[in-house]
Amino acid sequence: MRIGIVAGEVSGDALGAGLMRALKRRLPEVRFEGIGGPAMQAEGCRSLYPMERLSLIGFEALGKLPGLVRMRRALAAHFAADPPDVFIGVDVPDFNLGLEAMLKAAGIRTLHYVSPTVWAWRRWRIRKIQRAVDHMLTLFPFEAKYYRDRRVPVTFVGHPLADVIPERYDARALRRRLALPADATLIALLPGSRASELNRHADLFVKTAAWLVKRQPALQFVAPFVNARTRAIFETALERCRATHLPITRVIGRSRDAMAAADIVLLASGTATLEAALLKKPMVVTYRVSWFSYLLIRVLAHVRQYALPNLLAGRRIVPELMQRDAVPEKLGQAIEQLLTHPGETRRLTGALGRIHRMLKRNADERAAEAVIGFLKRRARLPVRRTQTGGSRS
C-alpha cells in the first residue's frame, strides 16, 4: 500500500503525522510520500520538497507563486507516472485542491483532510471541491452537514485537539508553574501569534487592560507569545501606551497553559479560540483587519459570526467584537460582564463542555478508519485483528 500525502504548516504536519500513525497500525507495510514536516517525516513520510515552501499560501505567497505552480505540476507528474493507491491532501487548500484536481483527472483517488472554509468564505469553491475531492474529512460536524447537503462524500472525524486537551485539569498547579499569583483574578491576553496580528492588536489589548485596571486595580494579566519577536512588539506597545506599570506577566510559549491558568481569556479570533473553548474558559473574542480587507470580507463572507465557539454552538455564546466594535471600552465591558455575572459564566462553561464532548472523537483513528473504508470500497485490503477481537483493515 502506497499513499501520497501533502501537508503544509505545523498544524497540518501534526494532523498528517497522527493520521499516518493510525494507518500504520492497520497497514504495517504502508508507505507514504509527498510533502511533510518533521512530525510526518518521523512517521516515515518521504518528503519530496521542504514543507516550508507551502507555508506561505495566501497573499504572502504571491511573489513565490510561479515556484509553487511548478512544484504542484512536478508533484502531479510524479504521482501520475507512479500512481499511489490514494492521495490525501492535508489542509492548504490553495495548493492541495489544484493538485487533487490534476490527480483525480489522472484517475487517482483523492481525499482531503480539513475542510476549506467554503461554508463561510468564497462559497463558489464548492464546485472545485466537487471536481477535485472524492471524499472529505472534516474536523467539525457543521462542515459535514454542509458537504452532505451538496452531495460530497464526507466523514466528520472530530478534532485532535479535543483528544489531547483533558476535560479536567489543575489550574492552580499551572499558576505555580508559570509563577502567577495564586488567588488573584487573572486574565489571559492573546493578541495573536503572527507579527502582523500583534501590530494590529497590541495597542488594543494594552489599552483594554489599562481600562480594566482603572476600574478593578487588583486584576492580574498573563500574556503568552510564540517568540521573542512578538513579545517585543507587545512590549513596545506597552511603552507607547505608557502602560509599563500594568501587572502583565509575559511568557514565551505556554499559551495553552496560560489560558488554562486564567479566569477569563481575551483573544484574537483564530484557532486559539478553539483551545480556549476546549479548556472551558470564558472568553471575549476580537479581531481587526484593514478596512479594505473588512469590506472584502463583508462582500464575500456567508456568515455573520466568526468565533469558532459560536459556529460550533450554532448561536452566539461568547462575545465577539470585531472591527469598529474592537475598542477598549467595549472589550473591557464584555470582560466585566463575565467577571460580575457568575451564573452567565457557568452557563458558558457548560456550553463549552458540550462542544468538547462533541469534538472528542479519537480523530486520528476515525480519520484512518475513513481512509481504510474508502479504500475497501474500491479494492481488497488485508484485515488485521485488533486486541479487542474486532476486525480492522
Indicate whether 60 and 110 sit together in one domain. yes
Query: Per the domain annotation, does 165 fall within a domain?
Result: no
Which run of H or of E encompasses 18?
A: helix 9-26
Say yes or no: 142 and 29 in one domain.
yes
How many domains, the chain? Answer: 2
Task: Specify whether 348 is located in the same domain as 382.
Answer: no
The answer to whether position 10 is within a domain reads yes
Q: What ranges make up the beta strands (E) of 274-329? A: 283-287, 320-322
Do 97 and 231 share a structural domain?
Answer: no
Give the C-alpha separation, 45 to 23, whole Å. Answer: 12
The enclosing domain of 121 has a CATH number of 3.40.50.2000
Query: Is 163 part of a structural domain of the chain?
Result: no
Same domain, 122 and 194: no
pLDDT in 10s for each residue of the chain, 393 residues: 999 999 988 889 999 999 999 999 999 999 999 999 999 999 999 999 999 888 654 455 566 788 889 999 999 999 999 999 999 999 999 899 999 999 999 999 999 999 998 877 778 899 999 999 999 999 999 999 999 999 999 999 999 999 999 999 999 999 999 999 999 999 999 999 889 899 999 999 999 999 999 999 999 999 999 999 999 999 999 999 999 999 999 999 999 999 999 999 999 998 899 999 999 999 999 998 877 776 666 656 666 777 999 999 999 999 999 989 999 999 999 999 999 999 999 999 999 999 999 999 999 999 999 999 999 987 645 544 444 344 333
Residues 371 and 336 in one domain: no
- Residue 26 and residue 153 share a domain: yes
pLDDT score at 388:
37
Residue 376 and residue 257 share a domain: no
Question: 279 and 204: one domain?
Answer: yes
pTM for the complete prediction? 0.87
130 and 205 share one domain: no
Q: What is the pLDDT of residues 289-335, one digit of tens each?
A: 877 776 666 656 666 777 999 999 999 999 999 989 999 999 999 99
Domain that holds residue 309: 171-359
Based on the fold, state whether residues 243 and 335 are members of the same structural domain. yes
What's the CA angle centered on 198, arms 192 and 204, to 5 degrees? Answer: 95
223: enclosing H helix or E strand: strand 220-225
Within this chain, do residues 105 and 124 fall inside the same structural domain, yes or no?
yes
Query: What CA–CA distances, in Å, run from 365 to 19, 37, 66, 162, 385?
Result: 7, 21, 37, 13, 15
